[in-house]
Amino acid sequence: MKEFWRDALTLAIKTAASTAIAVIGVSVLIHIVNWDLIVSTVVLATVFSLLIAFVDRIIACTEPDGSSIDKHQINKVVRVMLDPGHGGSDPGAVGPTGLLEKDINLLVAKSVAAILAPVAAVKLTRDTDMALGANVNADLTARANAANAWGADIYVSIHCNSAANSSATGTETFYYTGSTPGAGLAKAIQTRIAAAVSLPDRGVKTGNFAVLRQTNMPACLTEIGFISNPAEEAMLKSPVFQALMAGTIADGIAAYLGLKLPAPGAGPDSAVSPWAKESWEKAVAAGLFDGTNPQGALSREQAAIVFDRLGLIKA
């Protein structure tokens, strides 16, 4: 019975469409000498066909290449590829107390992704402790290829710095030599990092890194502190510093892309309520929150991070 109604409806639509076309055709014939009418009919027909093609795309929810889009992502046209450096058998740099660069890169990248999720489509080159290739070169190429294949609008690689001299200190962000968009992205992120943290600003630099060279979109690689410096290793280990760094990188990305991040609840200047003061201070001291915006709303994903860091989630 359902099929009957569907067929009837299709027939009705087709009849209406052919009637409309016939009416337009007849009016064109009647007014064939009237060029204005012919021109306006052609313009109208073109506008309608473009409109129908556009509506078809929305209904079908497919990309031009035919692959399907998550319907909730339709408005999130901006694509951000975040790249937590290293992973798996490649730990990256190792701090004096054994802190692994790959772990900090991943924690910060995941937080950046969570912050940007409401305003952009965000992907990570890896979201677990894994390598993307059999060797370092294959791994780096796989990261760039993933961004290129997805058609990312920007690419941001997150690393911790390292030097033989343990007093080397500060933050810096690289872009590929000659890439003006890359320079703009690097500057948007680095200026905000420099303003947000007390570490020395080593500035924006050019670098011939594989992930910057092999990516097709504006790309940068940010070094969020020296893991080889004992004081900076301790900072990098702190969830407060990680959260601050993630928020700052997300701010820089949003600014570069012209995106407006949702206001975080009551705002960073809100005061803690007297009844919550003791617990709030304990939570801040334990590194669960960064000490700002005590009355801000907690999203489900932020709650998951808090529960996870408390060890309350059984794998």
- Name the residues that contact Zn ion, by CB under 5 A: 85, 92, 159
Choose between 85 and 218: whose C-beta lies nearer to Zn ion: 85
| Interatomic CA distance for residues 152 and 145, integer angstroms | 10
The residue among 83 and 251 lying less far from Zn ion, judged by its C-beta, is 83
Q: Please say if 223 is a catalytic residue.
A: yes
- Selecting among 101, 223, 232, 233, the annotated active-site residue is 223
Residue 188 C-beta: closest distance to Zn ion, Å: 21
Q: What are phi and psi for residue 245, nearest 5 degrees?
A: -65, -40
Give min distance, CB of 52 to Zn ion, in A: 50
Reading the block at residue 125, the tokens are: 């080159």
Minimum CB–partner distance for residue 101 and Zn ion (Å): 5
121-124 sheet: strands from edge to edge: 121-124, 79-84, 154-161, 219-226, 171-175, 201-206
End-to-end CA distance of the chain: 49
SS3 239: helix
Task: Tell me how far apart the alpha carbons of residues 256 and 219 are, in angstroms, rounded to a whole number.
Answer: 12
Q: Are strands 201-206 and 121-124 parallel, antiparallel or unpaired?
A: unpaired
Given the complex with Zn ion, which of 79 and 159 has the nearer CB atom? 159
- Rounded least distance, CB 236 to Zn ion, Å: 12
> How many CB atoms are located within 10 Å of the residue 178 CB?
8
CB of 57 or CB of 205, closer to Zn ion: 205
Q: Which amino acid is at 52?
A: I
Closest CA to 80 of 136, 22, 120: 120
Nearer to Zn ion, 173 or 257 (CB): 173
Using the minimum distance from each CB to Zn ion, give the nearer residue, 97 or 273: 97
Beta-carbon contacts of 145 under 8 Å, excluding residues fewer than 6 positions away, are 214
Beta carbon of residue 212, minimum distance to Zn ion (angstroms, whole number) = 13
Catalytic site residues?
223
